[in-house]
Amino acid sequence: MKRQGLLSATGILLLGLVMLMTLHEWDSTLPGQDNAVMQAPAIIADDVTARAFSEKDGTLQYHLTANNLVQFDHNPLTEMEAPVLVMANDKGSWTITSEQGTVEGDGNLITFFGKVNVDNPTQKVNLDTDELRFDSETNIATTPGDVEMTFDSGQTRAGALEADLDKGILNLKQGVKSEFEAPAS
């Protein structure tokens, strides 16, 4: 009887060992679905709010909200729907809105695309474009394509723009055309 109990215990241990080895080697993806796993999102969130603070003095650098956010494990990219970024400095408050957006790397590069609007009520400047890239480390915004700016006394169109939001300096490039209303004398 002892021999039969020993054989049963040995059989159960061997069966358990085979199961563990099988589970350890078992690939959880089905054949042909490796690409789907690599593209699957790691995080999906709705009504997202994020704040970034300056490493120098701890002040609020920008406040970012979005209707929803999708973040991926295998790609350092975060996609956003209807992002709104608000950044304030001594030149006023800048608000950037768009239909879509992405955040790359450590959050340093935020790209807005699809009907992008930038507004600064203090300086009475409004900007419209299809794509805008915001570097949060340097507070520089660039547009790789056409941009239209409207302000108190006129409007300006250009093929590209680079804006230093801290200094309030706008560099317009490629076919710049401005129209101004002359003040009444």
- Structure-model confidence comparison of residues 70 and 12, the more confident one: 70
**What is the 8-class DSSP label of residue 124?**
T
Tell me the per-residue pLDDT of 131-179, one tens digit each, with 9 for 90 and over. Answer: 999 888 888 899 999 999 998 888 999 999 998 877 878 899 998 998 8
Identify which of 149, 139, 138 has the alpha carbon closest to the alpha carbon of residue 87: 139
Residue 1 has pLDDT above 50, yes or no: no
Confidence of residue 99 (pLDDT cuts 50, 70, 90): very high
Residue 52 has pLDDT above 60, yes or no: yes
Question: What type of residue sits at position 18?
Answer: V
Cβ-Cβ contacts under 8 Å for 79 (sequence gap 6 or more): 69, 70, 71, 100, 101, 102
Task: Give the Å distances, CA to CA, from 127 to 122, 135, 164.
Answer: 14, 17, 14
Tokens of 121: 């009520």
Place of tokens 């003040």: 183
Categorise residue 26: left if φ over 0, alpha if ψ from -120 to 50, beta otherwise.
beta
List the chain domain ranges. Answer: 41-180
Three-state DSSP class for 16? helix
Q: Which fold has domain 41-180?
A: lipopolysaccharide transport protein A fold (2.60.450)
Give the whole-number percent of the chain exceeding pLDDT 70.
78
Three-state DSSP class for 87? strand
**What is the 8-class DSSP label of residue 17?**
H
Residue 44 has pLDDT above 70, yes or no: yes
Q: How many CA atoms lie within 13 A of 9 on its CB side?
A: 6
Confidence of residue 115 (pLDDT cuts 50, 70, 90): very high
